[in-house]
Structure 1
């Protein structure tokens, strides 16, 4: 049993098991799992060891025969590999038609697999550049959206200022004559209140004399 190969899952566990750990109660009580620390050396993923020092594993580290030079133009090499794939595929078809039992059939299949591995490796080496370009495009899009938002806000601000200025300019102006008229009106009201209070006092005195005479 010890010599048997360990079974490795091709896919991770369903995310429900992890979602339940991050419930509101666990987060409120600070019981939610902490993020794992960054891996320093190497790690295993799907049964394959990966080193943290190299983002893309080299062909030599995977025990794969290198067909392309160390320093090369990826565009030219991809075109060469594509051409070689077509040639080997046609050779394989000829072998299957003319010599179906030939052992060269296995050799051609291995050659095709090796060419596909090299093409896949070249495309993977382009991934970091693709990620940087994608990030640059995303940041440029965010910058453009923020500039457009700021421009729209400035436009609305100018419209609000114009509305407020027009509202102030439409208000009637208060002149000195109007102030004098307002003061005269206030004085008339005050004098009327005084006269009214004096008349009421005289009527009270008369009523008091009449009541005293009746006694």
Structure 2
């Protein structure tokens, strides 16, 4: 790879890189980056390493030096029907010329007329391409939204079920606390008598207490 070549990411940066630039403090101090200006007409711009131009997606017939048979403002459905009828009529005329006089110069004119009708018809159909692309994108995004909503709903149902299971498990645990007379909670502790005796014998004062108890018993 030469030094002039640069690596360009094919995907946008993670959202964290954008969010960190648009914090409340940056917006308050007017330090947030401004969006780039829209490209002007016929301007070439680069996106993810690919060059794009801002030319019209569908060029007009006049810019291609093609005669326009349809008006500027029109009903597309009506004009398509008119072009289709004209195409059929010209095709029938072409067949008549081929039968009666195949060498007639009108034959070439009819072929040119049919070609011009096809070009105008295709141009009229191509003008629906942006609308078709928007509708396709809208349907795709609505389908993705519906799938995400259904996934979130299923996740919420599973979450509520897990919460119920956890609450049931906590409710099934034995009670470790009792409330005292003041409403407070104190822990119940049970001590094994054998363990208590063993612990008392290890206490240094245990022998002295035992001697005192015997002395008191002998006085009685």
Q: Distance in 1 between matches of 2:144 and 2:101?
A: 61
Report the counterpart of residue 113 of structure 2 in structure 1: 111
Deviation at 1:33, TM superposition (A): 5.9
Inter-CA distance 171–107: structure 2 relative to 1 (3 Å threshold): same
1:72-115 Cα shifts (integer Å, max 9, x gaps): 00011011111111221122222222322222111111011000
Residue 19 of structure 2: aligned partner = none
Q: Is residue 31 of structure 2 the alignment partner of residue 31 of structure 1?
A: no
CA RMSD in angstroms, aligned pairs only: 3.6
Alignment TM-score, normalising by the size of structure 2: 0.61
Alignment of 1:13-52 (within 5 A): 31-32=6-7, 41=42, 52=54
Deviation readout 1:176-213 (Å, 9 max, x if unpaired): 5xx66x4342x531213544899xxxxxxxxxxxxxxx
Q: CA deviation at 1:31?
A: 3.0
Q: How far apart are the structure 2 equivalents of 1:104 and 1:65?
A: 19
d(CA) in 1 for partners of 2:69 and 2:104? 25
Structure (1 or 2) with the larger CA radius of gyration: 1
Please tell me whether residue 183 in structure 1 is matched to residue 185 in structure 2.
Answer: no
Distance 1:142 1:33, change over 3 A: closer
Which aligned runs of 4 or more in structure 1 are off by greater than 6 angstroms?
none
Structure 2 residue runs without a partner (length 5+): 11-38, 45-52, 179-186, 205-220
Between Structure 1 and Structure 2, the one with more helix by share is 1
CA–CA separation in structure 1 for the residues paired with 2:69 and 2:177? 96
| Aligned twin of 2:34 | none
Figure out how many residues of one structure are paired with residues of the other and give that number.
163
Q: Residue 90 of structure 2 is aligned with which of 77, 88, 91?
A: 88
Correspondence for 1:210: none
- Please list every run of 5 or more consecutive structure 1 residues that lacks an aligned counterpart in the other structure: 1-19, 44-50, 199-215
How far apart in 2 are the matches of 1:112 and 1:62? Answer: 18
With normalisation by structure 1, the TM-score equals 0.63
